[in-house]
Amino acid sequence: MADVILKGSREKSLTRHHPWVFSGAVDTVRGKPGRGETVDILSPDGRWLARGAYSPESQIRVRVWTFDPEEEVSAGFFGLRLSRSIESRRAIGIEQAADAFRLVNSESDGLPGLIVDRYDRFLVCQFLTAGAERWKDAVVSWLERLTACTGIYERSDADVRAKEGLPPSVGRLSGEEPPEVIEIHEHGCRYLVDVRHGHKTGFYLDQRDNRACLARYASGRDVLNCFSYTGGFSIAALKGGASHAVNVDSSGSALGLAARNVLINGFDPGSVENIEADVFTLLRRFRDSRRSFDLIVLDPPKFAESKGQIMRASRGYKDINLLALKILKPGGILFTFSCSGLIERDLFQKIVSDAALDAGREASIIHWLTQSSDHPVSLNFPEASYLKGLVCLVK
């Protein structure tokens, strides 16, 4: 096994069990580890620190598998980690609320680069790093044994794989090919999910608890759901008694699935309007035409992919929040989110506060929201906390 030896004083994060070693922290590499191979990480004085997966093309040069010197990284290692991750979901009772949820959440479950989402009887996996890719066969084999799933499908088509020197990879890994759409159930709502072509692994599972929260405020309200995708928040709103909902998204195919979701839940098709449009443009049109709403959801895609994009992203978040606040009725509710991990919670609150000030509105935070409980955040890996949301009562 090759060794990665760190520069002086660069071992501090590892002693606190943070699982990343950046390229700038590496002094020398003893041996010639290949992409995804297991290496030992040593301090400058030769002390053993951790064992992880080597990625020669990534800025994150090593991702830690274990901080236990006695723990061997083998096929059995992945069986133990997967078993523990699956059991933790049972422990929090997630199966009582939904039949679609995250089984493995990468670093926070001790498996860097591996995402496993369950959709009814199917699993959808993302192998996003060199180490996860190297152990793909072992992971699939263990998932077959531990879950008794009908099929396992891969959606390793995220941009982050390019940083690892890996091409996109999509397709069936085991068992049956998933159907065109899979029906899932969540808090009494039904959703059709396209795991083969949809966003992420098919659905925004991280918003499950927040959809349930929105349902509690929806009764009798006219709802605008921006960046709606397949209408998850709108279905939850209608379930909660909303009088009407408008879905806005740039994808016609996503809106097509949103319309089908209305039908399978037994709602009146006339209670939902689906608009294929750019959200920024449409919000300005609503402002100019004086169309207003009782409840508005802003759930945009990630605006900041790097630190250099934080300022531009902040302007984007302020723009959509300013426009939304201008068309929200007095006494209305704003659900506003950022999934950009680089936009910290305090900064997001300041952005929304500045937008309210410029819109001439007074608003109070009545809830802070985050990702659902099946997307845990390791105490030693705060980067796993990416989704942040505010529920604001607007005067």
CATH number for the domain spanning 113: value is 3.30.750.80
Please tell me the predicted confidence (pLDDT) of residue 211.
Answer: 98
Strand-pair partners of 278: none
* 226 annotated active-site: no
Mean pLDDT within 346-370? 98
Query: Do residues 329 and 373 share a domain?
Result: yes
Structure confidence at residue 283 (pLDDT): 98
pLDDT for 378: 97
Beta strands in the chain, from DSSP E residues, in sequence order:
2-6, 20-22, 26-30, 38-42, 48-54, 60-66, 100-105, 114-119, 122-127, 151-156, 169-175, 182-186, 189-193, 222-226, 244-249, 272-276, 293-298, 328-338, 363-370, 388-394
Cα 210 to Cα 42: distance, rounded to the nearest angstrom: 43
Within 8 A by CB and 6+ apart from 26, the residues are 4, 5, 6, 7, 61, 62
Q: What is the mean pLDDT of residues 309-336?
A: 97
**Do 228 and 289 share a domain, yes or no?**
yes
pLDDT, position 62:
98
Q: Which residue's structure tokens are 């950046």? A: 22
Question: For the domain that residue 263 is a member of, what is the CATH number?
Answer: 3.40.50.150
User: 97 and 51 in one domain?
Assistant: no
| pTM over cut 0.85 | yes
Share of the chain above pLDDT 70, in %: 100
Using alpha carbons only, give the angle 152, 154, 160 rounded to the nearest 5 degrees.
150
CATH of the domain at 38: 2.30.130.10
Nearest to 328 by CA among 392, 377, 260, 251: 392
Please state, in angstroms and rounded to a whole number, the distance separating the CA atoms of residues 78 and 110.
10
Q: How far apart are CA 203 and CA 193, in angstroms?
A: 6
Amino acid of residue 125: C
197 within a domain of the structure (yes/no): no
Does residue 198 lie in a domain region?
Answer: no
- Predicted confidence at residue 332, as pLDDT, reads 98
Name the band, by pLDDT with cuts 50, 70 and 90, for residue 271. very high
Q: How far is CA 170 from CA 135, 159, 167, 387, in A?
A: 16, 13, 10, 26
Options 125, 149, 226, 339, the catalytic residue = 339
Shared-domain flag, residues 153 and 254: no
Burial class (CB in 10 A: 0-12, 13-18, 19+), 72: exposed
Decide if 340 is inside a domain. yes
Q: Are strands 293-298 and 363-370 parallel, antiparallel or unpaired?
A: unpaired
Is 248 in the same domain as 103?
Answer: no
Percent of the chain with pLDDT over 90: 98
In this prediction, residues 87-106 reach a mean pLDDT of 95
Q: How many helices (H) and strands (E) does the chain have?
A: 11, 20
Question: How many domains does the chain contain in total?
Answer: 3
Is the CB of residue 354 less than 8 Å from the CB of residue 338? no
Return mean pLDDT, the chain.
97
pLDDT 10s digits, 201-254? 999 999 999 999 999 999 999 999 999 999 999 999 999 999 999 999 999 999
272-290 pLDDT, tens digit each = 999 999 999 999 999 999 9
Please identify, among 66, 83, 110, the residue that sits at the C-terminal boundary of a domain.
Answer: 66
Give 108-128 pLDDT, tens digit per residue.
999 999 999 999 999 999 999
Structural domain that includes position 7: 2-66
Q: What's the CA dihedral at 97, 101, 103, 107 to 10 degrees?
A: -120
Same domain, 53 and 91: no
Residues 6 or more apart from 145 whose CB is under 8 A from it?
79
290 and 164 together in one domain: no
| 3-state class (DSSP) for residue 173 | strand
- Same domain (yes/no): 355, 219: yes
CA 371 – CA 291 distance, rounded (Å): 31
Question: Are both 138 and 285 inside the same structural domain?
Answer: no
Q: Which phi and psi (to 5°) does residue 277 adopt?
A: -165, 165
In this structure, the answer to whether residues 235 and 383 fall within a common structural domain is yes
Confirm whether 184 is domain-assigned: no
The residues pairing with 245 across neighbouring beta strands, listed in sequence order, are 223, 272
Instruction: Indicate whether 248 and 350 sit together in one domain.
Output: yes
Confidence of residue 33 (pLDDT cuts 50, 70, 90): very high
- Region 306-329 average pLDDT: 96
